[in-house]
Structure 1
Amino acid sequence: MGPDPVHLNFASDNVMGASAPVLEALVRASVGAMPAYGADDLTVEVERSFCDLFEREVAVFLVGTGTAANALALATLVSPWGLCLCHEEAHVIDEECGAPEFFTHGAKLHGLKGVGCKIDPATLRATLDGFSAHEKQMPAQAVSISQATESGLVYRPDEIAAIAEVCRERALRLHMDGARFANALVAQDVSPAAMTWRAGVDILSFGATKNGCLAAEAIVVFDPSLADTLTYRRKRSGQTFSKGRFLAAQFAGYLGQDHWLQNARHANAMARCLADGLAAVPGVRLAWEVQANEVFLIIPDDLDRRLKAGGAAYHPWSPRALSADEGVAPGEKLIRLVASFATKREAVDDLLTVASGP
């Protein structure tokens, strides 16, 4: 019998399906008639649940994809002639096919270097100091950070606050791409409020698809003045679903009884098991500390071949955000493995068995 390509699939948390509570909520929402375009009671209830979650009044816009959430959020912050700063490997600049620039009608994203795909406040301030105030230079208007980062690292609330302080100094807005918001949250044992608006975040892309939903994301706006245009932007982008209750239903199942946090804790724990087991294999070292549900490893080529022959699925990764004292030598590869809410401990153990060799 050959290797099972599903069992050892650590390519992404996107490869897994939806969790049972989410699917059950969808089935319940499918019964009977409800008002269309988000005017149903379920959508209203879910929007209120976000206010409870963040301990304040927020404006919530449900959408179907993370790219839509990021692009629409940034479109509310940046004018067509403006600039948004982010890490040079941020998802918004590197993996969304120019969607933020498209939805902002021509604004640009400016990438910054930083270890572990984190933006350092000093680098941010120095970059801003280097910009001209002349009309020939697009003015900086926003900063976007990823939580967790594209290297699997987590911003602490004090780190977010330090970036927000630079933003306040320069009259910039702060966006958080929270595609793995839940994983970052449980990794720190802090509240959603502490990790967002209390630290200075103006608008959040609240991810759920990677952590148990089918296709559900939310734009959470902490400054009411920023919400005025989003109703129209969402509709114009094709993200106002006629049967909006099915977006809301996913969030009802996801947020109910802290299911989203349980999912994230499981994914993080599986990532930790992966990291501990693989780091013990000769020639393997962690590229960055494992803080959420992603594991980045520098491995020998022969281990890469053995894992692939054993049916393991994962992705090679860019070394650009490695620290100055780390590198990928000839005969080595940098890879990423991702654990999810559905990752089984048996799959982790079987991968480690393959890695340990005959």
Structure 2
Amino acid sequence: MNFASDNIVGASAPVLQAIVEANAGAMAAYGNDEISKRVRARFSELFEREVSVFFAATGTAANALALSSAVPPYGLCVCHREAHIIDDECGAPEFFMHGAKLVGLPGVGAKLKADEVAAYLSSLPKAVKQMPPKALSISQVSEGGLVYSPDELAALGQVCREHSMFFHMDGARFANALVALGCTPAEMTWKQGVDILSFGATKNGGLMAEAIVVFKPELSEALDYRSKRAGQIISKGRLIAAQFEGYFADDHWLANARHANRMAKLLSEGLLQLPGVRLAWPTEANEVFPILPQALNQRLKAAGVLYNSWTELSLPEGEQIAEDEALIRLVASWATQEEDVRRLLEIATSGVERQAAE
């Protein structure tokens, strides 16, 4: 039973089949093939407007290149202090921004609030000695498993406009957030002021399928060159693009995300039935963050359940992890089996009952 992440499982059958079909014969290289053209057009349909699309093999590459188009070497990119771009990408965004910096702000559940971002921006000196803020980046879903509502996104977008900043969304779990909100891709992005999006499919059924979706035309001007220099314009690019054809066909991507979210909800609801278990943050997408007794934590590990411990930095005010407790993260994926969820809950329940009997 592996709940360590949603990037530990392989690709889904429709995605793999699309790769097999795209593999046959010869096609133009470096993204000039008909499949890539069709997929770019499909993105424009999904987002209800003309967009520029640049394919990438990894989410790190997508984030780093997207931000490099928005932030000059002398600028700042504001994000949450636990954002993936600042905590998990080995400085790649700063490397590709050629010296620009990331600055992380606090926020419950790894989410940023518009008024707090605005207060920080207003506090910055306007002199040349201070690097000017040029972009805001958020993770949708956040690193605490929370989802920004359209209203929250709109408020952040307004802050960006007031401070002449670009608005970037790290959408590694874009589909999970989308089905949680029940809105359209347009309503979760450019209609709320998002200028550029890292669109992730790898965590939701892709093999290695990421895309930079650009809503602000001026940000796309140099991305072809930046992508080439970063090794992300792949000669057999049709095999990246084909994954999106399988991903989007028959709303496969949305079905995958709904399943993952449902498995997380089932897991979350089951754990909350156990004494001594509570959630650090609500389960809004496909991640669960329970606070549980250490004895239960050790029992799950001993039974072979795989998951990760988690940081306490973004806990709600007044919430604390006691010495005999642990905060963990459990992630459900498109491939998570309901029987695995129920088996984990059975192990947890029997462990609690055994401890009560002792």
TM-score range (shorter-chain normalised) is over 0.9
Aligned to 1:207: 200
2:294 matched residue in structure 1 = 301
Q: 1:352 aligned to 2:345?
A: yes
Deviation per residue, 1:198-225 (Å, 9 max, x gap)? 0000000000000000101000000111
Q: Specify the alignment match of 2:249 in structure 1.
A: 256
CA distance in structure 1 between the partners assigned to 2:191 and 2:123 by the alignment? 29
Q: Deviations over 1:292-343 (max 9, x none)?
A: 0000010100001110111100000001101112111111010000000000
The percent identity for this pair of structures is 60
Instruction: Tell me whether 1:42 sits opposite 2:47 in the alignment.
Output: no
Aligned AA (1:252): E
Aligned to 1:127: 120
**Superposed CA offset, 1:135-167 (max 9, x none):** 111000000000000000000111000001111
Q: Structure 2 counterpart of 1:183, which letter?
A: N
Cα distance in 1 for residues equivalent to 2:79 and 2:48: 27
For residues 161 and 30 of structure 2, what CA distance do their matches in structure 1 show?
36
Aligned counterparts of 1:84 and 1:33: Cα–Cα separation in 2 = 42
Partner residue of 1:292?
285
Per-residue displacement from partner, 1:212-268 (whole Å, max 9, x unpaired)?
A: 001010000001111000000000000110000000110100011100000000000
Which structure 2 residues correspond to residues 205-354 of structure 1 after superposition, within 5 A?
205-354=198-347
Matched position secondary structure for 2:134 = strand
Total equivalences in the alignment: 351
Deviation string, structure 1 residues 159-216 (Cα, Å, up to 9, x no partner): 0000011111110110000000000000010000000000000000000000000101
C-alpha distance in structure 2 between counterparts of 1:179 and 1:317, whole Å: 19
TM-score of the pair, normalised by structure 1:
0.97
Report the equivalent of 1:90: 83
Matching residue's letter, 1:228: E
Q: How does 1:50-199 map to 2 (within 5 A)?
A: 50-199=43-192
Distance 1:349 1:133 in 2: 56
Aligned counterparts of 1:177 and 1:356: Cα–Cα separation in 2: 36
| Cα RMSD (Å) | 0.6
Q: Which residue of 2 aligns with 1:5?
A: none
* 2:2 paired residue number: 9
What's the TM-score, normalizing by structure 2? 0.97
Distance 2:31 2:122 in 1: 44
CA distance in 1, matches of 2:251, 2:98: 38
**Runs of 5+ consecutive residues of structure 2 not aligned to the other structure:** none
State the SS of the aligned residue for 1:253: helix
Runs of 4+ with >6 A deviation: none
Q: Distance in 2 between matches of 1:245 and 1:125?
A: 42
- Structure 1: 5+ residue stretches without partners: 1-7
Q: Which amino acid aligns with 1:343?
A: T
Q: Which moved more, 1:121-130 or 1:204-213?
A: 121-130
Distance 1:138 1:293 in 2: 37
Describe the SS at the equivalent of 1:322. coil
